[in-house]
Structure 1
Amino acid sequence: MAKSTEIRESRKATLIGKTAGWLMRGLCATLRFEYLDRCGIGKRGTFPGPVIYCLWHNRIFTVPAAWRKLCGADRRAVVLTSASHDGAMLARAVGVFGIGAVRGSSSRRGVAALVALRKAMREGLDICLTPDGPRGPRYVLQPGAVKLAEAGRAPIIPVHVEFSSAWKLKSWDRFHVPKPFSKVRVIFDEALAVPAELSESEFEEWRLRIESVLRAGAEDFTEEA
């Protein structure tokens, strides 16, 4: 039985991940992107230090391409992926876009992942989190994002993705895959500065605030509510 601290890797996961990454790049090349940069992340010098991008797990498909187009020339980033084989595939997929990966999650290697993310931030790298992943519940923000922002003194930038036409997979998160030649709007929302040394009640207030902002940008959440 695999230990809970084990990072899972395999040649199969590597191959599938890299193939998926290039398929993502190919599909994204057909899309009509629209960018709404409310926080100014695409302008050099707006954020001299690292930032934390937060988006729902089911919206991640187009974000590596959008980030690379908008600010990838001036910024470096890593994404948190799970320590499972699925996480290995995602790590290889985003690597195609020049994005690194830190392996771990709330269910496996959580503390080690948090330490690695803080180290990456000290080295000047942006962090990308899907705070309802890797297993859900969908559209529920886990506390790790708030802890990292509080400890690292880095602003959180909510990222929303809107699809004119997309397939929704029958996974726990209803993962969205845009249809070729469709329109995709990627919104980098206003930055949220989480204060340091929050009390327990203040921490929960910030968690709910960030969750509310992300939910407001998810059209299917609004439809289901």
Structure 2
Amino acid sequence: MRWEDPEDHLSAIGQSPVIFALWHNRLILSLPSYRKYFLGRHPHRRLVALISASKDGALLSRLMDHHGVESVRGSSSRRGGQALKELVNRTRRGYDVAITPDGPRGPKYEVQEGVVMLAQLTGLPVVPMSAQIHSKKVLGSWDGFQVPLPFARCDIRMGEPIWVDRKGDEVEREVARRQIQERMMALTTD
């Protein structure tokens, strides 16, 4: 796994909590990249992940818990409001948040409004991320979920953080949503 952060956005983040945004189909790389690149520099950081309230989400939640990552269960269709409140509460306690802004149902590579609302409520930056998996199996799911093959080269890419105006209206939130999507797409190569 290789890290690509040519403008050193990681250093600019410092100790403050952030919201990491990674496409749903590259979710498999979220835990190893966080552990290697963020905990390596800041071992006391804590991560909470927004995970679907579905049966599949229950399995992922147990896996994350096993690796020391807490989860909040919810999505745009189930427990969304409660999940948002729980995430805001965790950020106040210093947690970073991991979110797949196009999940859990898509459309693929389309940022939904939840990540923007979370950033607006917390005042935390959204850190766009993506990954290029050079040798992979692509599953037949809605998002073309990508599974690295053994010994595959994986390049983790981090983009410039995006802040959402805490007093912004609907128009400003839409501008921020598009900005997040554009920055994530600029990091993404299929």
Shorter-normalised TM range: over 0.9
Name the counterpart of 1:67: 34
Q: Is 1:36 aligned with 2:4?
A: yes
Unaligned runs of 5+ in 1: 1-32, 221-225
Contact 1:163–1:182 (8 Å) recurs in 2: yes
Q: Which amino acid aligns with 1:213?
A: R
Q: TM-score under structure 2 normalisation? A: 0.93
Which is higher, the Rg of structure 1 or of structure 2? 1
Q: Is 1:211 aligned with 2:178?
A: no
Name the counterpart of 2:140: 170
Name the counterpart of 2:23: 56
Name the counterpart of 1:28: none
Q: Is 1:128 aligned with 2:110?
A: no
Paired with 2:37 and 2:67, the residues of 1 have a C-alpha distance of 12
Paired with 2:147 and 2:106, the residues of 1 have a C-alpha distance of 18
2:155 to 160, 167, 185: 185
Identity %: 40
Unaligned runs of 5+ in 2: none
Q: Which amino acid aligns with 2:163?
A: A
2:80 to 110, 127, 143: 110
Name the counterpart of 2:164: 194
Contact 2:51–2:60 (8 Å) recurs in 1: yes
Contact 2:17–2:96 (8 Å) recurs in 1: yes
**Residues 46 and 110 of structure 1, relative CA distance in 2, 3 Å threshold:** closer
Name the counterpart of 1:88: 58
Determine helix, strand or coil for the equivalent of 1:219. coil
Paired with 1:168 and 1:218, the residues of 2 have a C-alpha distance of 15
**Residues 39 and 112 of structure 1, relative CA distance in 2, 3 Å threshold:** farther
The offset of 1:169, in angstroms, is 0.2
Name the counterpart of 1:24: none
Contact 2:105–2:142 (8 Å) recurs in 1: yes
Paired with 1:49 and 1:172, the residues of 2 have a C-alpha distance of 34
The offset of 1:40, in angstroms, is 3.9
Determine helix, strand or coil for the equivalent of 1:146. helix
1:148 to 106, 118, 122: 118
The offset of 1:113, in angstroms, is 0.2
Give the root-mean-square deviation of aligned CA atoms: 1.4
Give structure 1 regions of 4+ aligned residues with deviation exceeding 4 angstroms: none
**How many residue pairs were aligned?**
186
The offset of 1:39, in angstroms, is 4.6
Provide Cα deviations, 1:113-170, integer angstroms capped at 9, x if missing partner. 0000000000100000001111111111110100110110001100110111110000
Q: Which amino acid aligns with 2:104?
A: P
Q: TM-score under structure 1 normalisation? A: 0.79
Contact 2:159–2:187 (8 Å) recurs in 1: no
Provide Cα deviations, 1:30-65, integer angstroms capped at 9, x if missing partner. xxx111234543x5x843321000011001111201
